[in-house]
Homo-oligomer: A and B are copies of this chain.
Amino acid sequence: MTVELISVGTEILLGNIVNTNAAFLSCECAKLGLSCYYQTVVGDNAERLALVLKTALERSDIVILGGGLGPTQDDLTKEIAAKVCGKEMHLDEDAKKHIEDYFARKGKVIPDNNWKQAMIPADSVVLHNPNGTAPGVIIEYGEKRVILLPGPPNELKPMFLDQVVPYIRDMLPGIILSKTVKICGIGESRVEEMIEDMINAQTNPTIATYAKTAEVHLRVTAKADDEAQAKKLLKPVVKELKNRFGTTIYTTDEAVTLEMAIAELLLANNLTISTVESCTGGLLAGRIINVPGISDVFKTGFITYSNKAKRKLVGVKKSSLEKYGAVSRQVAEEMAVGLKDFTKADVVISTTGIAGPDGGTKEKPVGLVYMCCMAGNVKVTRELNLNGNRAKVRESAVANALILLRECLLEYVSENTFGKE
């Protein structure tokens, strides 16, 4: 079954906003096993919108339109879709009540033009919008489906996941089930090499690779008659991936991020953590602290951007700074040791590097980063040569620091577990 996406909005055509809705919908449709061959962006213009929709309906089974469901005269996605599909509009009492309730909750008077949002084309399923006033609509147009969603991502995403996904699942023969295997610390081309035989031999399940900064995600997707059957198909493939990639897999749960996996390790083992950052300047702590509940183990972080701060706060030796320079293996190690002395945290990590654009030399080019992690007796120092501009070098340094942190944690936990046996 094929799907096609149409994003409606002049602000996308002007480059004012990046079309993240299309990426989200494409990704979710791929998970459902739908094939998407076209995405289109068109402005709030009746003629061009009708043209694009007609073209899409000629070549795709499902057409999803995002945006243009607002209350103003400019918003005409619903009216045009109804016209193209030859459906009359009528006032939907449920949608009307929802709008009344929404404004009552906010203690506001309903503007006159908001009633437009309660008008629904005939032969449609109304999609409830808990995060706004514009209801979504699924128009049943013969065998085809035209799905209208509000443009704001915080309205579109939950509406799609909670109401459209189940609707589409019901349309499909059998079911589609995915499992995401998230790998860190191995490059994309190496990952692809390691599973080349599996990809070449794949029929059902299929494996798709997604490259992220310092991570590769493998999505394994099975089609089957029912969920039990799909799970049975997924199981041996996921098992084989676990065999091949071992502990470089940090999760098989799509919702879990690398920092969440690390937080889980810290919390489960009751280990506190501290950070001391130079080139990453707070971004490493910033990412760790993005995990809710991390306050139980993350107590303190330092940003020692100047040499003086490195000396004063974490006791880096003046002689080391002079002899090896601030960006060196020795200073990264002294930062970690000094941090541990100061905070008494169970796990500490340091970063120091040259983010650019200036400050690089032939011996120490832009992108050179040292980091040191200590977890109990485990101590690992790493040298990296990262590519890209200042922002990219810092982002990659943070990702690599998280990977180092996880490796040290795993080693420490495994040693301590063995020790206790």
Chain A residues at the B interface, C-beta cutoff of 8 Å: 12-20, 22-30, 36-43, 45, 48, 52, 55, 154, 208, 210, 275, 277, 280-286, 288-290, 292-295, 298-306, 308-309, 312-313, 356-358, 388, 390-391, 394
- For A282, A292, A302, which residue has the most chain B Cβ atoms within 10 angstroms? A282
The interface residues of chain B lying within 8 Å CB-to-CB of A357 are 292
15 other contacts beyond A14-B27, A19-B39, with CB at 8 A cut-off?
Answer: A13-B36, A14-B30, A15-B23, A18-B18, A18-B19, A19-B19, A22-B41, A38-B41, A39-B40, A275-B282, A281-B290, A281-B298, A290-B391, A292-B358, A300-B306
From known contacts A23-B15, A302-B302, A306-B300, infer whether A286 and B283 are also in contact, taking CB-CB under 8 Å: yes
A18:B15 contact, CB within 8 angstroms: no
8 A-B residue pairings within 8 Å (CB atoms): A12-B23, A15-B28, A19-B39, A40-B41, A55-B55, A283-B286, A299-B308, A300-B312
From residue A59, how far is it (CB to closest CB) to chain B in Å? 9
Chain B residues whose CB sits within 8 angstroms of the CB of A37 once the complex forms: 13, 42-43, 45, 48
Q: A27 CA to B16 CA in the complex, in Å?
A: 7
Considering only CB atoms, which chain B residue lies closest to A38 in the complex? B42
Residues of B near A282 (CB, < 8 A) are: 275, 277, 281-286, 289, 301, 303
Asked if B290 contacts A300 (CB within 8 A), the reply is no
Q: Which 3 A-B pairs have the closest CB atoms?
A: A15-B27, A282-B282, A301-B303
Q: How many copies does the complex hold?
A: 2
A18 pairs with B16, CB closer than 8 A: no
Q: How far is the CB of A417 from chain B (nearest CB, A)?
A: 27
Residues of chain B within 8 A (CB-CB) of A12 are: 22-23, 26, 39
Question: Which residues from B are CB-within-8-Å of A52?
Answer: 38
Q: How far is the CA of A299 from the CA of B30 in the complex (A)?
A: 48
Cα of A403 to Cα of B204 in the assembled complex, Å:
53
A303 and B290 contact, CB distance less than 8 A: no
How far is B275's CA from A202's CA once the two chains are assembled, in angstroms?
A: 53
Max chain B C-beta neighbours (<10 A), residue from A17, A25, A306: A306
Q: How far is the CA of A162 from the CA of B25 in the complex (A)?
A: 34
By a CB distance below 8 angstroms, the chain B residues around A48 are 37-38
Given A208-B14, A357-B292: A38 and B39 within 8 A (CB)?
A: no
Check if A26 sits within 8 Å of B39, measured CB to CB: no
* Chain B proximity of A213: nearest CB distance (Å): 12
Question: Do residues A25 and B15 form an inter-chain contact, with CB atoms below 8 A?
Answer: yes
Collect the chain B residues with CB atoms within 8 Å of residue A208's CB.
Answer: 14, 16
Complex contact B303–A275 (CB within 8 A): yes
Which residues of B lie under 8 Å from residue A394 when comparing CB positions?
286, 290
Contact A300 B292 (CB under 8 A): no
CA distance A373 to B346 in the complex (A): 33
**Taking CB as reference atom, which chain B residue is nearest A208?**
B14
Contacts of A289 on B, CB cut-off 8 Å?
281-282, 303, 305
The reply to whether A290 and B390 form a contact with Cβ atoms under 8 Å apart is yes
A200 CB, nearest partner CB in chain B, Å: 16
Q: Check B301–A300 contact: CB distance below 8 A.
A: no
In the complex, chain B residues whose CB is within 8 Å of the CB of A284 = 282
A29: chain B residues within 8 A (beta carbon): 15
Beta-carbon contact of B301 and A313 below 8 Å:
no
